Amino acid sequence: MKNDLQKTNIAGDVERFTENTYNIFSDEEETKFEREDEPSLTAEFEINEYGNITKQTITVPSGDFITTEYVYEFGLKTEEITENPGGRSEHTFVEYDENQLPISETVKRNGNDIAKTTFFHDDKKQLTEIATLYTNGVHVRHYFTYDERGNKVEEKTIEKSEFTSEERTVYTYNEHNEVTESIDYDTEGNVLMSTQFQYADYDEHGNWTSKTELMDEVPIRTIIRTLQYRR
């Protein structure tokens, strides 16, 4: 089973990394673009020697932050503990099968169950379906399709509550197995949103350090990533 670094396509023995997100503004004619001086979001990740995230901290300009810590047993992530502003907390408990694949997940908020998720995998141990039932009655299912390199190329989401909604997202990749475009479609096949990703810089390990996100070919934000390696 892939570790967290492999899932995010990060190479090397990374000890921690930080992603600063900067919004991009344009003039009315969309001919001039400027990046904010300060990040709108900062995400910090701490990685153990097995390539898995042990702590994640997300900070916004106001100073508020959300911290998630991950607990492992025999190399498997069994618990997530998230602390939100205002003292709200969420605990996630994960169960695995004999092949060390996740089969279920329970989320509790301040001690009360809020959601139960079931995971399904194919013969290649690829995740093919996620089914989540919330205590308020909402039922959400995600279905995944992969290419020959193991990249997720399509995700279909069906949400059932008082009404039923369906959405499909198609992904395109470059030679580095990095997402270069995602297109969201409604049930009629109409495009809801098209997002592009451009990778400008890479470090000596081949990991990107600058990525720009565009919506319908218009730049909207840039992410600057700094990686720290153990050796």
The domain segmentation of the chain, as residue ranges, is 4-229
Closest CA to 126 of 105, 140, 99, 146: 146
Which tens digits make up the pLDDT trace of 126-178? 999 999 999 999 999 999 999 999 999 999 999 998 888 999 999 999 999 99
3-state secondary structure of 97: coil
User: DSSP letters along 109-126, please?
Assistant: ETTEEEEEEEEEE-TT--
CB atoms within 10 A of CB 225: 19
Which pLDDT tens digit goes with each residue over 87-127?
A: 789 999 999 999 999 999 999 998 899 999 999 999 999 99
As a whole number of angstroms, the distance between CA 108 and CA 91 comes to 5
Q: What is the pTM of this model?
A: 0.88
Q: Is the dihedral of CA 23, 26, 30, 33 positive or negative?
A: negative
- Please provide residue 113's backbone torsions phi and psi, each rounded to the nearest 5 degrees: -65, 135
Q: Give the angle subtended at the CA of 58 by the CAs of 4 and 78, to the nearest 5°.
A: 40
Class of domain 4-229: mainly beta
